[in-house]
C-alpha cells in the first residue's frame, strides 16, 4: 500500500508559509522597507503600481549584497541577522525570522538587483520562489527589490484583496509609520509613476511637520519623560484640536511602530473629560527601552507589544501627557488662515489633497512657560495691566508673544469649579447671608434630586433649609456669586445637574460643574477694569487655568508672528 503521507514539495511549503507573513501588498511593502532600513543607507524609495498588486518596488542605497548572499537570501530561514544563539532574543524583540523574502518570492515574480559598491552588481530573477536567472551587471551600491503580480499564483488569496484603492490606503499608512519611525532617512513614495511624497531626512519635528497637515502639526505639544528603564519623547495634540478619527495616533518602540492597548488607555485617560465623544487626540509617542522589558508577538505581521510591566508604562504615559496638557504651551494658538501655497507634488491625487502641507509653525513658536503672563503698562504713578473687554465677552491683553484672549465666562467657571472642589476637601465655601431669605417650591421629582445634592450645595456655601413639603428656603449663598437671582440660579443648577449626571460620575464633581457653569459671569456681562484684573489674577492661581471643566479652552493666544504674517511683513 502506498504511503498516504507525502512530503510537500519545497515550493508548496513556501507558498503556505507566505500566507502567514504576507497578507496584502502593504505587508510586502513593510518587509521590504524594513530590510532597506536594516541595510542602513540614507535614502529609501517606495514605488507602487496598481495598488501594489501589479508592482511594489523598494530602492535603497544601503550596504547591498554579494552575489552569494543575493542567491541565498530568498531561502527560507536565510537571515544575516541571527549569527549567535544569543541573537535568538532578536526574534522576540524585532521579529527577524529570515522568512520574508522567501515568502514574498514564492507568491510573486521577484527581482533583486544589488551591489555592495565594491564589485559588479548582481541581479537575481525569481519566479514563484525559484531562481529563474542570475545576471551580472553594473549597479550602484544598494538594493532594489521589485515584486510583480502578487498572489497571481495563489488565486484564493488574490480574491481576498480589496480594491486597489483600499490596498493603496494601507500602503500609504504603512509608509507614514515607517517614515515617522526613521526621521533621519530620506523617503519618497511614487504612486503609478507620480511622485506623491518626497521627505528629506531631518529632525523628528521636521518629519512630523511633513507628514501631518499644517493645522494638525501646529496643534501639538511636546511630552517628555525619562526613567532608568524607559525614555519617552513625543507630541500630543492640544485639547480642543482632536480629530474625528484615529489615523494620527502612533506609538513607536525603539524606532518601530507598535500597537499596545494600555498605552492608548494611558493617553486617553490623561485627556479625561477634555475629549468629547468621537474625538481622538493626535499622538506620536516614541519609547526607548531595553528588550528585556517587553515582548513582541512573534507572528510576523503583528506589531503588538506586551510590556513586562504594563502598568508602569501606562502610568508613565498618562503622567507625562497629563503634565504636558497642564502647561501654558497647551494654550491653543489662533491661526489666521490664509491661502498658503501647497507643495505641487501633493495635488490632484486622493492621498494628496488631505490638506495643507505647506510650511508651518511647530515647537519654536509655542509660548514658553511664564510667557503667558499679562504685561503691565507703565503710568506715571502706577503699573496697570493692559486689559480690554471685547463685546462684553472676551478679555484681551498683551503678553510677551503677542495677544492673549480670555473667555470671561469659562475663566470664571474654572475659578468657581476649583473653589467648589476645595470645599469638598474640608475648606467649606464662604457664605453671605441673604437679607431676605427666599422660598422655592419644587416639583416632587426635582425635590428628590435636591435632597440628593443638598449636602454638597451646603459645602459649597449655600445655606438651605427644608420648609414643608417640596419647599426650600435659601438663607445664604456662596460669596462668589452675584446676589439677586439666587432662586433662578438654584433652579438652573438643578437643571444642569440633571443633564450632566450619570451613574459613573462623582456627584460632588457634577454639582461643582453645574454650580460653576451657572454661577459664572455670563458672556455679555460688562466687567469693570478691577473685575477683569481680579478675574485674571484668580484664573492664573487655579490649577488648570487653560481649560474649563468641560474641556473648552479658556485662553487662546495670537502671536505677533501670526499678525505680522497676516500683514505681509
Residue pair 276/242 in contact by the 8 Å Cβ criterion: yes
Site string for ligand ADP, 9-38 (x = CB under 6 A): ----------------------x---xx--
**Residue keyed to cell 494601507:** 170
Q: Which of 27, 35, 143, 519 lies at the binding interface for Mg ion (CB under 5 A)?
A: 35
User: What CA–CA distances, in Å, run from 206 to 179, 361, 444?
Assistant: 11, 11, 62
Q: How many positions of this chain bind Mg ion (CB under 5 A)?
A: 2
From the DSSP assignment, how many helices (H) and strands (E) are in the chain?
17, 24
Rank residues 171 and 490 by Cβ distance to Mg ion and give the closer one.
171
Looking only at the bridges linking them, the beta strands covering 294-296 and 283-289 are unpaired
Residue 211's DSSP bridge partners are none
Q: Which of 25, 51, 62, 121 lies at the binding interface for ligand ADP (CB under 6 A)?
A: 62
* Helical packing angle, 261-271 and 310-326, nearest 10°: 30
Q: Please, which of residues 74-103 interact with Mg ion by CB under 5 A?
A: 100
Give which of ligand ADP, Mg ion, none residue 98 binds (C-beta under 5 to 8 Å, depending on kind): ligand ADP
Rank residues 101 and 168 by Cβ distance to ligand ADP and give the closer one.
101
**What is the C-alpha separation between 508 and 514, in angstroms, rounded?**
10
Q: Which of 98, 358, 385, 437 lies at the binding interface for ligand ADP (CB under 6 A)?
A: 98
Does 60 bind ligand ADP (CB under 6 A)? Our answer is yes
Burial (0-12, 13-18, 19+ Cβ within 10 Å), 257:
middle
Around 528, how many Cα atoms within 13 Å sit in the side-chain half-sphere? Answer: 3
Site string for ligand ADP, 105-144 (x = CB under 6 A): --------------------------------------x-
Q: Least distance from C-beta 101 to ligand ADP, angstroms?
A: 3
- Stretch of 79-87, 193-201, 289-297, 374-382 lying at the interface with ligand ADP (CB under 6 A): 79-87
Rank residues 34 and 413 by Cβ distance to ligand ADP and give the closer one.
34
Rank residues 182 and 366 by Cβ distance to ligand ADP and give the closer one.
182
**What is the C-alpha separation between 425 and 327, in angstroms, rounded?**
25
Q: How many positions of this chain bind ligand ADP (CB under 6 A)?
A: 22
Q: Least distance from C-beta 81 to ligand ADP, angstroms?
A: 4
* Helical packing angle, 164-181 and 25-38, nearest 10°: 20
Angle at 488 between CA 487 and CA 493, to 5 degrees: 100
Q: Which of 100, 199, 212, 317 lies at the binding interface for ligand ADP (CB under 6 A)?
A: 100
Rank residues 119 and 537 by Cβ distance to ligand ADP and give the closer one.
119
Q: Least distance from C-beta 102 to ligand ADP, angstroms?
A: 6
Q: Least distance from C-beta 168 to ligand ADP, angstroms?
A: 23
User: 314: part of which helix (H) or strand (E)?
Assistant: helix 310-326
Q: Least distance from C-beta 319 to ligand ADP, angstroms?
A: 36
Q: Least distance from C-beta 98 to Mg ion, angstroms?
A: 7
Extended strands (E) in 391-467: 394-399, 402-407, 431-441, 463-466
Rank residues 103 and 404 by Cβ distance to ligand ADP and give the closer one.
103
User: 114: part of which helix (H) or strand (E)?
Assistant: strand 109-115
Length of the chain equals 569
Residue pair 25/51 in contact by the 8 Å Cβ criterion: yes
Give which of Mg ion, ligand ADP, none residue 418 binds (C-beta under 5 to 8 Å, depending on kind): none
Give which of ligand ADP, Mg ion, none residue 36 binds (C-beta under 5 to 8 Å, depending on kind): ligand ADP
Rank residues 22 and 101 by Cβ distance to ligand ADP and give the closer one.
101
Query: In the numeric block, which cell numbers belong to residue 253?
Result: 518602540
Does 101 bind ligand ADP (CB under 6 A)? Our answer is yes
**What is the C-alpha separation between 442 and 392, in angstroms, rounded?**
34
Q: Least distance from C-beta 103 to ligand ADP, angstroms?
A: 8
287 closest CA partner among 336, 223, 342, 343: 223
Does 201 bind ligand ADP (CB under 6 A)? Our answer is no
Phi then psi for residue 176, to 5 deg, are -65, -45
Q: Which spans of this chain sit near Mg ion (rule: CB under 5 A)?
A: 35, 100
Q: Which spans of this chain sit near ligand ADP (rule: CB under 6 A)?
A: 31, 35-36, 39, 60, 62-65, 73, 78-81, 96-102, 143
Amino acid at each position: 500500500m502506498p504511503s498516504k503521507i507525502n512530503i510537500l514539495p519545497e515550493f508548496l511549503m513556501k507558498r503556505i508559509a507566505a500566507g502567514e507573513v504576507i497578507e496584502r501588498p502593504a505587508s510586502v511593502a513593510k518587509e521590504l522597507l524594513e530590510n532597506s532600513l536594516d541595510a542602513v543607507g540614507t535614502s529609501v524609495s517606495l514605488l507602487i503600481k496598481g495598488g501594489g498588486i501589479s508592482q511594489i518596488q523598494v530602492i535603497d542605497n544601503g550596504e547591498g549584497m554579494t552575489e552569494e548572499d543575493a542567491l541565498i537570501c530568498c531561502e527560507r530561514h536565510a537571515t544575516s541577522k541571527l549569527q549567535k544563539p544569543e541573537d535568538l532574543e532578536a526574534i522576540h524583540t524585532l521579529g527577524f525570522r529570515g522568512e520574508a523574502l522567501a515568502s514574498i518570492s514564492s507568491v510573486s515574480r521577484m527581482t533583486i538587483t544589488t551591489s555592495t559598491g565594491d564589485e559588479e552588481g548582481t541581479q537575481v530573477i525569481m519566479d514563484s520562489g525559484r531562481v529563474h536567472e542570475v545576471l551580472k551587471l553594473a549597479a550602484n551600491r544598494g538594493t532594489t527589490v521589485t515584486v510583480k503580480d502578487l498572489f497571481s499564483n495563489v488565486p484564493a488569496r488574490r480574491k481576498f484583496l480589496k480594491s486597489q484603492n483600499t490596498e493603496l490606503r494601507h500602503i500609504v499608512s504603512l509608509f507614514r509609520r515607517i517614515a515617522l519611525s526613521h526621521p533621519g532617512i530620506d523617503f519618497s513614495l511614487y504612486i503609478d509613476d507620480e511622485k506623491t511624497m518626497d521627505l528629506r531626512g531631518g529632525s523628528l519635528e521636521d518629519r512630523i511637520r511633513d507628514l501631518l497637515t499644517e493645522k494638525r502639526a501646529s496643534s501639538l505639544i511636546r511630552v517628555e519623560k525619562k526613567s532608568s528603564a524607559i525614555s519617552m519623547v513625543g507630541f500630543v495634540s492640544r485639547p480642543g484640536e482632536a480629530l474625528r478619527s484615529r489615523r494620527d495616533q502612533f506609538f513607536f518602540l525603539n524606532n518601530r511602530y507598535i500597537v499596545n492597548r494600555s498605552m492608548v488607555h494611558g493617553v486617553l485617560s490623561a485627556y479625561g473629560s477634555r475629549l468629547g465623544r468621537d474625538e481622538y487626540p493626535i499622538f506620536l509617542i516614541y519609547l526607548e527601552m531595553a528588550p528585556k522589558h517587553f515582548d513582541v508577538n512573534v507572528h510576523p505581521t503583528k506589531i503588538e507589544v506586551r510590556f513586562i510591566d504594563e502598568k508602569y508604562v501606562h502610568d508613565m504615559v498618562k503622567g507625562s501627557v497629563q503634565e504636558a496638557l497642564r502647561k501654558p504651551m497647551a494654550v491653543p494658538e489662533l491661526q489666521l488662515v490664509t491661502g498658503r501655497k501647497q507643495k505641487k507634488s501633493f495635488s490632484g491625487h486622493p492621498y494628496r489633497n488631505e490638506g495643507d502641507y505647506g510650511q508651518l509653525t511647530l515647537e519654536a513658536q509655542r509660548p514658553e512657560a511664564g510667557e503667558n503672563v499679562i504685561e503691565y503698562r507703565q503710568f506715571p504713578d502706577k503699573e496697570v495691566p493692559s486689559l480690554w473687554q471685547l463685546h462684553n465677552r472676551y478679555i484681551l491683553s498683551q503678553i510677551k508673544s503677542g495677544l492673549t484672549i480670555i473667555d470671561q465666562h469659562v475663566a470664571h467657571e474654572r475659578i468657581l469649579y476649583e473653589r467648589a472642589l476645595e470645599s469638598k476637601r474640608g475648606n467649606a465655601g464662604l457664605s453671605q447671608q441673604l437679607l431676605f431669605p427666599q422660598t422655592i417650591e419644587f416639583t416632587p421629582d426635582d425635590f428628590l434630586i435636591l435632597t440628593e445634592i443638598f449636602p454638597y450645595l451646603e459645602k459649597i456655601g449655600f445655606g438651605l433649609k427644608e420648609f414643608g413639603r417640596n419647599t426650600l428656603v435659601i438663607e445664604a449663598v456662596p460669596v462668589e456669586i452675584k446676589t439677586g437671582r439666587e432662586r433662578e440660579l438654584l433652579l438652573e443648577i438643578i437643571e444642569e445637574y440633571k443633564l450632566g449626571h450619570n451613574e459613573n460620575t462623582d456627584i460632588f464633581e457634577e454639582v461643582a460643574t453645574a454650580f460653576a457653569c451657572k454661577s459664572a459671569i455670563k458672556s455679555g456681562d460688562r466687567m469693570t477694569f478691577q473685575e477683569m484684573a481680579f478675574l485674571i489674577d484668580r484664573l492664573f492661581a487655579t490649577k488648570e487655568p487653560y481649560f474649563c471643566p468641560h474641556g473648552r479652552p479658556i485662553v487662546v493666544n495670537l502671536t505677533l508672528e501670526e499678525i505680522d504674517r497676516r500683514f505681509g511683513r
